[in-house]
Amino acid sequence: MFVLEPQHIYLNQSATDKQHALRLLADILIKDHLTQDGYLQGLQDREAQSSTYLGQGIAIPHGTPASRDKILQTGVRLAHFPQGVDWGNGNVVHLAVAISAKSDEHLQVLQMLTKALNDDVEQKIAKAITADEILAILNATPDSLLLHESLIKTDIHADDLDELAYQGYQLLKSQSLVGAGFLTNLHSDKAIFLQDNTWAVVGETSVFTPAVAIVKNHQLVDFNDKKMDTLVLIASNDKLDQQKLSNLLDVLFQTSLTNTNNSREIAQAIHAETVPDWIKKSVVVLNHHGLHARPATELVRLTKALTGDIKVSLDEINFVSAKSLTQLLSLGAVRGQTLTFIAEPNTDSETALDSVILAVREGLGETIEPINESKPNTVADNLADEWIDPFSQNEENKGIPASRGLAVGNAFVMRDKKYDYALISQNPSQEKQRLEQAVLTVKQSLQQLIDTASSKEIRQIFTAHLALLDDSELFNQVFVNLQKNMTAENAWHSHVEKTAKIQESLDNKLLAERAMDLRDVGDKVLAVLCGETLAELPNEPYILIKHDLMPSDVARLDNRYVSGILTAVGGASSHSAIVARALSIPAIVGAGEQVLEIAQKTPVLINGATGEFVINPTDNLLEQASLEQERQQLEQTKALQTCQIPAITLDNHQVHVMANLGDVNNAESAVAGGAEGVGLLRTELVFMKHSQMPDIQTQINDYKKVFDAMAHRPVVVRTLDVGGDKPLPYVAMKAEENPFLGVRGVRLTLRKPEIFKQQLTALIQASKQSSPDQDLRIMFPMIGRVEEWQKAREILDEVLAENPHNKLQVGMMIEVPSSAIMAEKFAPLVDFFSIGTNDLTQYAMAIDRGHPVLSREADGLHPSVLQLIDTTVKSAHKYGKWVGVCGELGADRQAIPILLGLGVDELSISSSQIALAKMQIRSLTLSDCKQLAIKALGCDTAAAVRALTA
């Protein structure tokens, strides 16, 4: 990286043309021992490829990769041409920034010069006399006032000024322009009357960037003995561009906004920036984890070299640069959402737009996998709700399973390093140089990791890390901090931590976890700045224990010695878990801070499949672990050999074991694995795999694959269960603060009756086309009120009037506590209940089952959940109706006998678990299960319930 200092600027230079200027620059670089003879050819070759003119009278000539062998050391020199040099295409250069760099470090010069390009500095540079004057021009931070179409909102329904002000605050806050405290410190008593029902209010608290929001109400409200329908909310701080504000107020004093309710027209009237009318194309994100670091890095690679602008948005309002990794990640785009790209007209970006869209559609280098709409809740299903003393001799403990396998070894506890460094420096230039050198060192280290990586996953992760260090958005604020006399360590760490916290606050859990990437890179740079070295890893079998494992930690691991991984925090979808699985290293994450207190070299046994670990295991326990591994392999083999045998208990009670299906193409393999039918067909994938609403025939083609594979076996179909947390890209759905309590499931389809009718029609016709006697069972998700059931049933009856079916059952999901409590009211109306234990547990215990900390406490065997299941089964059986369980609790070995004892008639589970579940049921007696269920209902905790079947 580079530091611009006065001695690097050569004043009062003159050149007859660009070639003359390049020779002059080459001589300067040689004179200052930065390059050797021959680098001039590299400068000339680069200009032949593309002009290095930036704008505002500035060019950055630099060599080609082929000329890097002529570079002696990294450096930058500036040549000032007061009279200007013709750089071609009518561009005149007054300042040439010559660069000698062994990699793409010239991009960092762009970061330093970007601010200058946002202002009219060409004449200032031309007329500059001293080197300090030029540096001041380049480093100036201009006053600002953001006026943008996205900060204008019309047709608001508010009753007073406070509600209008809140709407304006939300606009400002959504773009991180203001923070908490802005709204509460507004002085509405000092509101300024502009004209025609238009008022302005100024806020000066917690303003990060000066900006103006305009909100317009759908009706007039009373205010200060006058009327109001438009509020101009001004966010002001010491960087407010007073002249720009004065111009805005002049416009508002003279221009009435009464007759327009269009945000674009208002933006144009006040001379605000609008979303460009560029060529626009949209594409649905198909990546399993959305637009996270790896695909975003590939998108940056595709667009970075384009000379024209290319931007992307989720809402078609707030567009960010497709060339910036941090901005792309800030979108929080998840699978199924639509990205809208715009490309600058008449540039290479417009030409490249189709290829960018195609690359996104094909996964940006990732394999596109079908969405599994209901993943196993391994945390809820495997963890007790109480912690046992974690360090008692031979005591079992549990965390979140992250990578399967048994492992044993001595503990190697890697505690996070606490860095000690000064906060203030009086030499910003020196600090900047230190930071730049540290970043260069880390980039070289990352490149070495990429070149020597043992797996594709590791290469992808560190390529993303390298891209972070090439991202101008990451460095801009760091450079500002340095000018505030912060040390390099303080400026870097404070900004990295702030940015990571912003990423953690994203609604999307998977993308929020990627804050780990930023902290990983940040720690690497900080360690170099502080002169710290990496701890030596043991050269004997060990269990690595750490607060939160960074991907770079995993990359250092030697499979010959590391037996397993145990962390205090983290999730099963984190980067470290992904890499651990790629390296086939057993891993447990989220095991609690107590694991960091384990003494070094203490023997530890972990089971990455269950999340269990044991401190100081006895020799006997180690032997048992080895035998258990062999037993599990034999059990799986035997189960598969007997998977077609019915699940009948020793006292002759049959339980039907069905398959949960998300992908219609997996039906045949489910039958081969022992499935007696489908207990839950999640139809979301049929909709989500299409970029537009699938018509009836398209749906029929998909559903028929399942009916044909089942060959008269019963098929239970859940109608479309999307909304909120699972959006459809082509169905307009408003963002919700709590999507799990929002418009989802039947709540959505009742509001979109045409979608509902088309799906019901397709299901009925597909089953009849497969076989006139096909056993079709339709159930509605998220039923919480009797009215919802009645409305859904009415719509189905309308469809049946035109599409009769002679073997149809109609039921509902029990996943909302209200439906379980009122099961006796629902039972006479339905043909069956299907209990979704994942959501039922989540709602009953008010714990988000994806929460990184609390999810361990959301156990489906908690007595409260069992009471709801018991109520549901008793109500159904009273009216002769059957009950299934389609949540992952149905595959839990400890839960199966209790569910049987509660009277559950059917279990619907993942296809891979069917053979084992059926074999277990054949070893039970219903009488014993009933006694066990009675005891379970009397327990106080989930741990106590699990102890009954331990």
User: What does the DSSP assignment read for 515-553?
Assistant: HHHHHHHHHHHHHHHTT--PPPPPSS-EEEEESS--HHH
What pLDDT is recorded for position 28?
96
What pLDDT is recorded for position 505?
58
Higher confidence at residue 466 or residue 867? 867
What pLDDT is recorded for position 592?
85
What pLDDT is recorded for position 99?
85
Beta bridge partners of 882: 832
What pLDDT is recorded for position 703?
94
Of 348-357, 602-611, 621-630, 835-844, the one with minimum mean pLDDT is: 621-630
Phi, psi of 87 (to 5 degrees): -100, 10
First to last CA, the chain: 60
Which range, 40-44, 263-267, 364-368, 624-628, has the best average confidence (pLDDT)?
40-44
SS3 call for 211: strand
Quick one: average pLDDT of 330-346?
A: 84
Q: Which one, of 285, 296, 346, lies nearest residue 323 by Cα?
A: 296
What pLDDT is recorded for position 376?
34
Rounded to whole angstroms, how far apart are CA atoms 34 and 13?
19
> Does residue 485 contact residue 425 with C-beta atoms inside 8 Å?
yes
Which range, 301-315, 468-482, 836-850, has the best average confidence (pLDDT)?
301-315
Q: Quick: pLDDT tens for 411-461.
A: 999 887 778 888 998 898 999 999 999 999 999 988 887 887 766 556 767
> Does residue 604 contact residue 598 with C-beta atoms inside 8 Å?
yes
> Does residue 344 contact residue 356 with C-beta atoms inside 8 Å?
no
Residues in the chain: 950
Quick one: average pLDDT of 735-750?
A: 74
Burial string for 495-516 (b: 16+ CB within 10 Å, else e) reads bbeebbebbbebebbbbbbbbb
What pLDDT is recorded for position 338?
86
What pLDDT is recorded for position 105?
47
Rounded to whole angstroms, how far apart are CA atoms 213 and 175?
11
Rounded to whole angstroms, how far apart are CA atoms 521 and 514?
11
Which residue is associated with the tokens 């203030």? 424
Q: Quick: pLDDT tens for 347-373.
A: 999 999 999 999 998 898 887 754 443
Q: Quick: pLDDT tens for 858-871.
A: 788 999 999 999 99
CB neighbours of 754 closer than 8 A, spacing ≥ 6? none
Q: Sheet containing 58-59: which strands, arranged edge to edge?
A: 9-10, 75-86, 92-100, 58-59, 53-55
Kind of pairing between the strands at 715-718 and 678-682: parallel
Kind of pairing between the strands at 192-195 and 198-203: antiparallel
Residue 255: pLDDT band (50, 70, 90) is confident
Q: How big is the chain by its Cα radius of gyration, in Å?
A: 32
* CATH of segment(s) 378-417+536-616: 3.50.30.10
CB neighbours of 249 closer than 8 A, spacing ≥ 6? 194, 200
Sequence-ordered strand ranges (E) for 781-821: 808-814
Phi-psi group of 893: left, alpha or beta (phi > 0 → left; psi -120 to 50 → alpha; rest → beta)? alpha
Rounded to whole angstroms, how far apart are CA atoms 861 and 855?
14
CB neighbours of 293 closer than 8 A, spacing ≥ 6? 325, 329, 461, 464, 514, 517, 575
CA-to-CA separations, 105 to 306, 471, 514, 529, in angstroms, rounded: 18, 11, 25, 19
Residue 572: pLDDT band (50, 70, 90) is low
Q: Hey, CA dihedral for 608, 613, 614, 615, is it positive or negative?
A: positive
> Does residue 597 contact residue 391 with C-beta atoms inside 8 Å?
yes
Residue 1: pLDDT band (50, 70, 90) is very low
Two tokens, residue 314: 């989720």
Quick one: average pLDDT of 799-827?
A: 94
Domains 279-361 and 428-529 fall in the same CATH topology: no
For residues 368, 371, 372, 373, the Cα torsion angle rounded to the nearest 10 degrees is: 170
What pLDDT is recorded for position 718?
95
Query: pLDDT averaged over the chain?
Result: 83
Kind of pairing between the strands at 587-589 and 562-567: parallel
Rounded to whole angstroms, how far apart are CA atoms 794 and 800?
10
Residue 575: pLDDT band (50, 70, 90) is low
Helix locations, 50-180, DSSP H? 106-117, 122-127, 131-139, 161-174
For residues 750, 753, 755, 756, the Cα torsion angle rounded to the nearest 10 degrees is: 60
For residues 400, 888, 850, 943, the Cα torsion angle rounded to the nearest 10 degrees is: -60
CB neighbours of 160 closer than 8 A, spacing ≥ 6? 221, 222, 223
- Under CATH, what is the fold of the domain 279-361? Histidine-containing Protein; Chain: A; (3.30.1340)
Residue 106: pLDDT band (50, 70, 90) is very low
CB neighbours of 793 closer than 8 A, spacing ≥ 6? 810, 829
What pLDDT is recorded for position 391?
32
Half-sphere exposure of 861 (CA within 13 A, CB side): 36
Q: Which one, of 806, 822, 812, lies nearest residue 790 by Cα?
A: 812
Rounded to whole angstroms, how far apart are CA atoms 270 and 358?
38
Q: Which one, of 172, 140, 143, lies nearest residue 240 by Cα?
A: 143
Rounded to whole angstroms, how far apart are CA atoms 252 and 255?
5
Q: Quick: pLDDT tens for 523-562.
A: 889 989 998 876 778 888 899 998 877 766 766 777 778 8
Quick one: average pLDDT of 759-774?
A: 93
Rounded to whole angstroms, how far apart are CA atoms 363 and 546?
33
Residue 288: pLDDT band (50, 70, 90) is confident
SS3 call for 69: helix
Element (H, E) at 255: none
SS3 call for 725: coil
Which residue is associated with the tokens 């030409």? 351
SS3 call for 862: coil
Domain boundaries along the sequence of the chain: 6-139, 149-269, 279-361, 378-417+536-616, 428-529, 650-948
Q: Which one, of 862, 828, 832, lies nearest residue 944 by Cα?
A: 862
SS3 call for 723: strand
What pLDDT is recorded for position 379?
28
Task: Enumerate the active-site residues.
Answer: 62, 292, 575, 886
Residue 222: pLDDT band (50, 70, 90) is confident
Rounded to whole angstroms, how far apart are CA atoms 927 and 791?
40
Two tokens, residue 99: 């660069």
Q: Give the predicted TM-score (pTM) of the model.
A: 0.47
Phi, psi of 900 (to 5 degrees): -60, -45
How many of the other CB atoms lie within 10 Å of CB of 297?
Answer: 25
How many of the other CB atoms lie within 10 Å of CB of 68?
Answer: 15
Quick one: average pLDDT of 497-523?
A: 68
> Does residue 574 contact residue 589 with C-beta atoms inside 8 Å?
yes
SS3 call for 544: strand
Q: Which one, of 615, 576, 628, lies nearest residue 410 by Cα?
A: 615
What pLDDT is recorded for position 140?
64
Has residue 933 got a pLDDT over 90?
yes
Quick one: average pLDDT of 872-892?
A: 91
CATH 3.40.930.10 fits 149-269, yes or no: yes
Higher confidence at residue 857 or residue 111? 857
Rounded to whole angstroms, how far apart are CA atoms 511 and 594?
27
Element (H, E) at 223: strand 211-223
- Under CATH, what is the fold of the domain 6-139? Mannitol-specific EII; Chain A (3.40.930)
Q: Which one, of 594, 591, 539, lies nearest residue 565 by Cα?
A: 591
What pLDDT is recorded for position 378?
31
Has residue 472 got a pLDDT over 70?
yes
CA-to-CA separations, 669 to 445, 660, 689, in angstroms, rounded: 46, 12, 21
What pLDDT is recorded for position 504?
63
CB neighbours of 667 closer than 8 A, spacing ≥ 6? 659, 661, 678, 705, 706, 708, 709, 710
What pLDDT is recorded for position 604?
93
> Looking at residue 367, what DSSP letter applies?
P
Q: Residue 539, class by beta-carbon neighbours within 10 Å (0-12 exposed, 13-18 middle, 19+ buried)?
A: exposed
Residue 44: pLDDT band (50, 70, 90) is very high
CB neighbours of 652 closer than 8 A, spacing ≥ 6? none
* CATH of segment(s) 650-948: 3.20.20.60
Sequence-ordered strand ranges (E) for 585-732: 587-589, 603-607, 612-615, 656-661, 678-682, 715-718
What pLDDT is recorded for position 739?
61
Which residue is associated with the tokens 């994806």? 850
- Under CATH, what is the fold of the domain 428-529? Enzyme I; Chain A, domain 2 (1.10.274)
Has residue 602 got a pLDDT over 90?
yes
